[in-house]
Structure 1
Amino acid sequence: MKLPPGPKIPVWVLALQFEANPFAYMDANYQHYGDIVTIMFGSTPMIYVSNPLGIKQIFTNTKEITASGTLNEDFALFTGERGILQLDGFVHKNRRKLLMQALHGTRMQACGRRICELTQKILEQQVIGKPFVAYPIVEEITLSIGIEVVLGLQEGQRYEKVKYLFFSMFKSEQSKLFQLLTKIPLGTLNLGRWSPQGYLLHLRQEIFQFLDTEVQQRRSQADSSRIDMLSDLIFAADETGELLSNEEVRDLLLSPIFAAGDASATAITWALYWIHRLPRVRDRLLSELNSLGENPDPMNIIALPYLSAVCHEVLRIYPTQLFTFPRLVESSVEVMGYELPPGTILIANIYSTHQREDLYPQPKEFQPERFLEKQFSPYEFLPFGGGSRVCIGGSFALFEMKLVLATILSNYQLTLVSQQPERPKFGGLLAYPASGVKMLIQSQRQQQKQSQPLASGLF
């Protein structure tokens, strides 16, 4: 059975090439082998697809190709054994529906003002004229929003504790020492909390204990009027009509918080970089924002077409998630003319799809206008994955991204500290800006001084 073409060198060499420069590696693979590439992991073929028609086949053929949760077991360190990534079938479908209640519709609209308020509160702590690294500031904004949406915590000791624990987890995982040790033999051994792996496991245990306590206390003081994700899950029934266990509720809370703090912060930081690197983009965006007047309604902000185009182009050029979650071929199936045997792993390559010149002319150039000129299909533009594993928080992430950017740009005049191009760095699933994007606030914009206090959120 003939598989799609691919490199024949050892997989460990490919891993080194990918780690050194993942984007150059994927660009080279696309140029040499096309839009369907096979990488052999021992006897298992892993096939990466960046052809929209092939991606459609993968997402829509749910009989021969399954989005098996067993393929995501490596993420259990952060998501628990019963997190949304590890579930399958009707259970997975049921839990997705439960989680999405807090991230869509009127609930999402109600927290728009709160997002603007939090953004302004955190950014105003920066000193005018003093350089700062944007990524950790944005991460504080997005993690604070995520904790409110998911846990319903807004202030106080427990709010500060859980924020500290997740910040520590992010910082530890992204540290150069941890990244180095994961690449060498015995580097991931747990040698106690003074070793990188041991400290990460210690933080995991602390987070789990915190959430265990929070779930138990919330159950004992059940309040059906609350509108956070934790409250939804406490009162929710599973596919058999039974209430979810405390352990399952805990695990389901993890992925949304991690995504809120990590992936959203990455996308917004990249947006700040591109907007301030290209004056034409910044000026057009400011003109569009100014057209709404002072204190615009958040729902009017998110409807702005150029702001939407900028956010989409940010997610296209360096998607925070480079690949979709893997799929498993359960029985022989044809994909793009190749007959694939059972046991084959299929992965949609988001980055390479977003770099196709037939879809996105001059793909290395940041051009938001392309999203004003054309409507792309979910198989051509897929920053949040697709099919049954599409990110449950994708719509909320865009909503949040627009409001955070609008609040920053409307209230502050920022500039990049360095004019050197920002280099992407791959870590886990995400493509971070390597320097974190160094910026400074030149001044506050005049309209901030004239504006009225923002309304409080509804959490």
Structure 2
Amino acid sequence: MKLPPGPKTPFWLLILQFEADPFGYMDSIYKRYGDIVTLMFGSTPIVYVSSPLGIKEIFTNTKEIAARGELNQDFALMTGNQGVLQLDGLIHKNRRKLLMQGFHGARMQACARRICELTEKIMSKQVVGKPFVAYPIIEDITLRVGIEVVMGLREGERYEKIKYLFASALRIGQSLIDKILGEWDLGRWSPQRYRLHLRQELFQLLSAEIEERRKQADSSRTDMLSDLIFACDETGETLSDEEVRDLVLSPIFAAGDASGTAISWALYWIHSIRDVRLRLLDELDSLGENPDPMSIVGLPYLNAVCNEALRIYPTQLFAFPRLVESTVEVMGYEFNPGTILTGNIYSIHQRQDLYPEPKEFKPERFLEKQFSPYEFLPFGGGSRVCIGGTFALFEMKLVLATILANYQLELVSKRPERPKFGGLICYPASGVKMVMHGRRQHQEQSQPLVVGSV
């Protein structure tokens, strides 16, 4: 087997170089090796593909190439062994279908109003003229939304504890020093020990909630947790408490982490480029007073702005890995069983032939061209495409619209925001520092985008 070319640097050093400057590193690798590159992890070749054609070959070939859950075991510490990322075959397909039910139809219409309400409630607490860091505030909004949509919880001691534990779990291990210390046994000071503590506390709270729900047997509830409690698996049996617990973890983590990051990056870009901000505000204002949230979701330029934010700094840098199980040809190379194939989402989004001037933030490119799911794939693709991807974009539009329509914000610094890699996602390094100057002037003649108490 002749593998595609790639650097001979030891894998551990490649990881350090990548985490120090993830986008610069990937840009240099792409410039040198092109659409397909091999990195060796011991004796296992990991092949990264940055070609839409190659991605299509990987995602559509489910006979020789498998999206094995065992490849995602690194996430099992916090998402459980029976989470959707760790499952395979018919079981995986069944659980995905069960989870997807919560992201469609009338539920989303009801959820739309709630997203706007929560955003308004939290943003209204910011002090006029006092700088704040946007990312943790946005993360608080998206995490609250995730817990409400997935678990149906809005308030109470258990709700607050669950929210705190999820937020803590998202932050632990993001820094390089956490990753280095994680390899050492430092007792209670070890990030790994703390992560295990968070896991135990979180699992206990979720298990208690599931046990109570089963006793209540309230079939009128419309949250994802209730769906799973009353659902049957592929054999017609009800899911165990452990299965239900593990299945709700990933959607909540995704809601708080990926959605919060994408919205924060969008706020940065919108307030960095005046023309983008003014055009977006004109579009929002065209809906008139107190618009229906579902009409906001359909705005074309808002959609383009969100897509461009997801393109330039995708919340998921790589598609979930695939395993070659039978000898297969991809992009002219023949790969033997045991080879791992991974779609490089970031590098595809940086291709000059698809996205001219890829470093520039240009939302209009999404108004001028329809991109295929192998050219624009911020949430991955194939059988492992993110379950909550559509909802994440839905939430992103509503949170941004609520903030922009109601508040005058400005970036504190004119210096470019730098990405910081943590786990699977690249966060804004400074968290996007902003200052609020008050409500938008036009709001004096009209109602806020969202009215009513929360």
- Normalising by structure 1, what TM-score? 0.96
- Does structure 2 retain, via aligned residues, the 8 Å contact 1:114–1:456? no
Provide closer, same or farther for how the CA distance between residues 194 and 393 of structure 1 changes in structure 2, counting only shifts above 3 A: same
Amino acid at match of 1:362: E
Match of 1:8? 8
For the aligned residue pairs, the C-alpha RMSD in angstroms reads: 1.3
Secondary structure (helix, strand or coil) at the match of 1:361 reads: coil
Task: Identify which of 288, 291, 295 aligns with 1:300.
Answer: 295
Secondary structure (helix, strand or coil) at the match of 1:111 reads: helix
Match of 1:161? 161
Alignment of 1:141-160 (within 5 A): 141-160=141-160
Secondary structure (helix, strand or coil) at the match of 1:47 reads: strand
Alignment of 1:408-419 (within 5 A): 408-419=403-414
Q: Deviations over 1:284-311 (max 9, x none)?
A: 0000000001111111101100000000
Is 216-225 or 164-173 further displaced after alignment? 164-173
Secondary structure (helix, strand or coil) at the match of 1:38 reads: strand
- Does structure 2 retain, via aligned residues, the 8 Å contact 1:55–1:379? yes
- Normalising by structure 2, what TM-score? 0.97
Is 82-91 or 190-199 further displaced after alignment? 190-199
Aligned residues: 452
Q: Deviations over 1:321-371 (max 9, x none)?
A: 000100000000000000100000000000000000000000000000000
Match of 1:182? 179
Provide closer, same or farther for how the CA distance between residues 200 and 190 of structure 1 changes in structure 2, counting only shifts above 3 A: farther
Q: Quote the Cα distance in structure 2 between the aligned partners of 1:448 and 1:88.
A: 51
Match of 1:268? 263
Q: Quote the Cα distance in structure 2 between the aligned partners of 1:137 and 1:98.
A: 31
Alignment of 1:351-430 (within 5 A): 351-430=346-425
Q: Quote the Cα distance in structure 2 between the aligned partners of 1:129 and 1:181.
A: 34
- Does structure 1 retain, via aligned residues, the 8 Å contact 2:406–2:439? yes
- Structure 1 runs of 4+ aligned residues shifted over 4 Å read none
- Does structure 2 retain, via aligned residues, the 8 Å contact 1:191–1:197? no
Match of 1:94? 94
Is 13-22 or 208-217 further displaced after alignment? 13-22
Match of 1:114? 114
Q: Quote the Cα distance in structure 2 between the aligned partners of 1:251 and 1:295.
A: 39
Amino acid at match of 1:20: A
Q: Quote the Cα distance in structure 2 between the aligned partners of 1:431 and 1:307.
A: 22
Identity percentage of aligned residues: 74
Provide closer, same or farther for how the CA distance between residues 111 and 447 of structure 1 changes in structure 2, counting only shifts above 3 A: farther
Gaps of 5+ in 1: none
Provide closer, same or farther for how the CA distance between residues 44 and 243 of structure 1 changes in structure 2, counting only shifts above 3 A: same
Is 221-230 or 439-448 further displaced after alignment? 439-448
Secondary structure (helix, strand or coil) at the match of 1:363 reads: coil
Gaps of 5+ in 2: none
Q: Quote the Cα distance in structure 1 between the aligned partners of 2:168 and 2:413.
A: 27
Match of 2:283? 288
Q: Quote the Cα distance in structure 2 between the aligned partners of 1:3 and 1:172.
A: 36
- Does structure 1 retain, via aligned residues, the 8 Å contact 2:145–2:255? yes
Task: Identify which of 201, 206, 210 aligns with 1:206.
Answer: 201
Match of 2:29? 29
**Deviation of the 1:194 alpha carbon:** 3.5
**Deviation of the 1:157 alpha carbon:** 1.6
**Deviation of the 1:43 alpha carbon:** 1.1
Match of 1:126? 126
Question: Is 1:223 equivalent to 2:205 in the alignment?
Answer: no
Provide closer, same or farther for how the CA distance between residues 456 and 147 of structure 1 changes in structure 2, counting only shifts above 3 A: farther
